[in-house]
Structure 1
Amino acid sequence: MQYESSQNAFGHITTGLIHHPYVPPGGFEAPQPGVFKASTVYFPTVAAMRQREWKDKSAYTYGLHGTPTTYLLEERLCALEGGLQCVLVPSGLAALALVALSVLNTGDEVLIPDNAYGPNKALAEGELRHFGISHRFYDPMDPADLSRQITPQTRLVWLEAPGSVSMEFPDLPELVRRCRSQGLLCALDNTWGAGLAFKPFDLLNDAQMDPSGAGGQGSLSVDISAHALTKYPSGGGDVLMGSVITRDAALHLKIKLCHMRLGLGVAANDAETVLRSLPSMNLRYQAHDQTARALAAWWQAQPQCAQLLHPAFEGAPGHPHWQTLCERIPGSGLAAGLFSVMIDPRFNQAQVDAFCDGLKLFKIGYSWGGPVSLVVPYDIASMRQKWPKHLKQGTLVRFSTGLESAHDLILDLHQASQAHLLVR
């Protein structure tokens, strides 16, 4: 191949550097996809600029509306969760907010489980209320209570499986059926399930009945899956990102237009990081799960433990619902790397806090899904409308297992317990 020098093509070196004519050859392939960063996107002609369409991903118009990097991540996330359309946002909370702002109007009402992710409840109590959108909290462990809370103004129902912090697992299919019977949109915070523990768009596991993968005639599906990619898809504790996934084209367009009007976007390097992490996500999820079960089993045998809150353990709130949805074949179900322990009420808050401070491998911090194990004590009484009847009294401590050795983590729990939670 012959190369022609372009050093004299322009009057000034700066112009030459900006408008250098060389274009690398196509056909480059490697394990990791390329990273495309752009605000401005070039058009070959004015006519092309006017004809390009970004809503269906058939072309590019502006960096905020998508690049090859973000389009690729969106499509892979759809494959993960079983959806058909996806938009990316800067955080998991932004995903929850986008859903609400896309489908709710002044005078509408949203129903939220009382054990939902706290910031989603705060969003309803703050911004949504300011916009004239009302809300109610329902008991997710009582589907009849969901039905009782529905009013003519209800437009959206949020679901979580399991509940935030207290980890109770609802009868998710029954909650969805009740939404369907009333013609209500239902949106699931699927961060825990992550597309691995169960499929939000195929709750009856009948996709094999339809070769397209869309689910059989009896398929039961949520309308929207919101996912904090910050957690397991990222896996490093270093990326903030969220996704909103749907199967209905009209609903997706409504969400996508709101997404555009709000100017939501994600950084190309963050999208690259998640793309790089996705191939190992299933392996990491299983490793987190196995470690969490080993630690939960250790806690279950400790006298300081008043109640173990892990959906895969018999006796935990909602365990049969977890079995039905996630463990159709005995021993095959996944349950992430998150669980909580209700510490016996004989130990006060100061003692529980000292226990958390005394851990050496567990770091005190929010979030989960990264390589480092985390611990946080919670005041459940301040987070619920009333004390849940399925929770015993005590102080709740939530654990997120990282990728450390389960044996080392148990030794850490033992030494901190001996120092601060010793049963005499």
Structure 2
Amino acid sequence: MHWRSKLIHPTAQAPSGFRSLVTPTYRASTILFERQADAADDWRQSEVGYTYGLYGTPTVLELGARIAELEGARHSFVVPGGQAAIASIYFAFCKAGSHALVPASAYGPNRELADGLLARLNIEVEAYDPLIGGGISALIRDNTALIWTESPGSVTMEVQDVPAIVAAAHSRGVPLALDNTYAAGVLFDAFAKGVDVSMQALTKYVGGHSDLLLGTVSVGTQAAYDAVGPVLKQLGAAVSPDDASLALRGLQTLGVRLERLESSTLQVANWLVAQPGIEAVFHPALPSCPGHKFWQRDFTGSASVFSILFCREVDPGQVEAFVDSLRLFKIGFSWGGTTALAILYPKLDRPGKDYDGRLVRLNIGLEEPCDLIADLEQALGRINRPGATAG
């Protein structure tokens, strides 16, 4: 062969027998077949073999298999992020004319998707009180195609009675989906509680270092598997094997990180409970958190994110000044990484609630709790000064 052809068709290979603790990062779009008769474009690679890189290389499929093993799922699809997982579930179970239910405390982009793209596709998504429990039966219609749960809820941390909602949904033949990101898929056993589809943003605890965007859609039944798979193929929801490799690395330290984060977060949250100017601390493990009794019953631990509500005497400008005064806590969205974060929600929409720019969400990182408490203390001291204002 000409040397240019040898560049494309080499015969030289590395010696065989290499073994590593690390899963190799397989990058590919084209998958080779031995014969034309074997060529197929099929997303079910776990059953039929590898067909195209869009449906996952061995790196991606191993990540999915490990998540499924941890969650006790039939299968876990890996997708580009948490919002991609949410959208995929809607499209798998809903069609034009469908009705779906979502808790009012759900992740903001879930609600945005409901009010935006889904509404334009004539899919009606109705918000419900996250603490409704079995009372959700009254909201189920003949065309209800999906019920969402998210426990704890985003920002306001309401813990839902998921088993009661599951029972109500299944009595009417409606599948139930859960955003299980807070629990990292392990602190709440979704499939043991009867959930049909569980998703999480691997961006958070599995990634663990604020450097990747990934999600999973985990299914508990063959019917859910058959519903989700074709949708992901049609959407082209491919993920990078490099990101999957980072998530596989993150999985190895997930246990020790969750243990440390729980301990540190409880220490900080309990300190905040006693501080003047704080009206409530919304942490699932504390009695002040809505639905705390369900957390006690259903969860095996807590995680790193919670919210604080300032008293009405503290005006929104002072709350903003508090956030701006933090030094170790960085200002930013997301959570679950190594760094403490704070973010103010000045226009949070919760029916029947008026938080009036007084709600701040905190994510506790791997810093020493005493240092984080000292940072919070100096920032609180600034807003507690008479006449303190923003800036």
- Normalised by the size of structure 1, how large is the TM-score? 0.88
Question: Within 5 A, what are the aligned runs for 1:324-363?
Answer: 324-326=297-299, 333-363=300-330
From 275, 285, 289, give the equivalent of 2:248.
275
Please give the per-residue CA displacement for 1:83-121, whole angstroms capped at 9, x wherever unaligned. Answer: 021111111000000000111111101100011111101
From 205, 222, 232, give the equivalent of 2:195.
222
- In the alignment, structure 1 residue 258 sits paired with structure 2 residue 231: yes
From 335, 344, 353, give the equivalent of 1:387.
353
What CA distance in whole angstroms lies between the structure 2 residues aligned with 1:52 and 1:373? 43
What CA distance in whole angstroms lies between the structure 1 residues aligned with 2:26 and 2:135? 48
One-letter amino acid of the structure 1 residue matched with residue 233 of structure 2? M
Larger Rg: 1
Contact 2:180 2:188 in 1 (8 A): no
One-letter amino acid of the structure 2 residue matched with residue 406 of structure 1? P
What CA distance in whole angstroms lies between the structure 2 residues aligned with 1:355 and 1:25? 60
What CA distance in whole angstroms lies between the structure 2 residues aligned with 1:144 and 1:54? 36
Decide whether aligned partners of structure 1 residues 386 and 397 sit closer, same or farther in structure 2, where only a CA change above 3 A counts: same
What CA distance in whole angstroms lies between the structure 1 residues aligned with 2:352 and 2:43? 50
What CA distance in whole angstroms lies between the structure 2 residues aligned with 1:98 and 1:268? 20
The CA RMSD measured in Å over matched residues stands at: 1.8
Contact 2:43 2:55 in 1 (8 A): no
Please give the per-residue CA displacement for 1:60-103, whole angstroms capped at 9, x wherever unaligned. Answer: 11100121111100100001111021111111000000000111
Please give the per-residue CA displacement for 1:129-179, whole angstroms capped at 9, x wherever unaligned. Answer: 111111111111122542222111111000011011001211121111111
- Using the TM superposition, give the Cα deviation of residue 285 of structure 1 relative to its aligned residue in structure 2, in angstroms: 1.1
| Number of positions where the alignment pairs a residue of Structure 1 with one of Structure 2 | 387
- In the alignment, structure 1 residue 136 sits paired with structure 2 residue 126: yes
- Using the TM superposition, give the Cα deviation of residue 247 of structure 1 relative to its aligned residue in structure 2, in angstroms: 1.7
Decide whether aligned partners of structure 1 residues 50 and 295 sit closer, same or farther in structure 2, where only a CA change above 3 A counts: closer
Contact 1:344 1:393 in 2 (8 A): no
One-letter amino acid of the structure 2 residue matched with residue 261 of structure 1? Q
Residue of structure 2 in register with 1:34 after alignment: 24
Contact 1:373 1:403 in 2 (8 A): yes
- Using the TM superposition, give the Cα deviation of residue 393 of structure 1 relative to its aligned residue in structure 2, in angstroms: 7.5
What CA distance in whole angstroms lies between the structure 2 residues aligned with 1:334 and 1:225? 18
Larger mean CA deviation between 226-235 and 49-58 belongs to: 49-58
Question: Identity over the aligned pairs, expressed in percent?
Answer: 37
What CA distance in whole angstroms lies between the structure 1 residues aligned with 2:81 and 2:223? 24
- In the alignment, structure 1 residue 166 sits paired with structure 2 residue 156: yes
What CA distance in whole angstroms lies between the structure 2 residues aligned with 1:23 and 1:306? 66
Unaligned runs of 5+ in 2: none
- Using the TM superposition, give the Cα deviation of residue 39 of structure 1 relative to its aligned residue in structure 2, in angstroms: 0.6
Question: Within 5 A, what are the aligned runs for 1:105-124?
Answer: 105-124=95-114
Residue of structure 2 in register with 1:398 after alignment: 361
Residue of structure 2 in register with 1:208 after alignment: none
What CA distance in whole angstroms lies between the structure 2 residues aligned with 1:242 and 1:423? 46
From 240, 265, 283, give the equivalent of 2:213.
240
Larger mean CA deviation between 112-121 and 15-24 belongs to: 15-24
Contact 1:53 1:59 in 2 (8 A): no
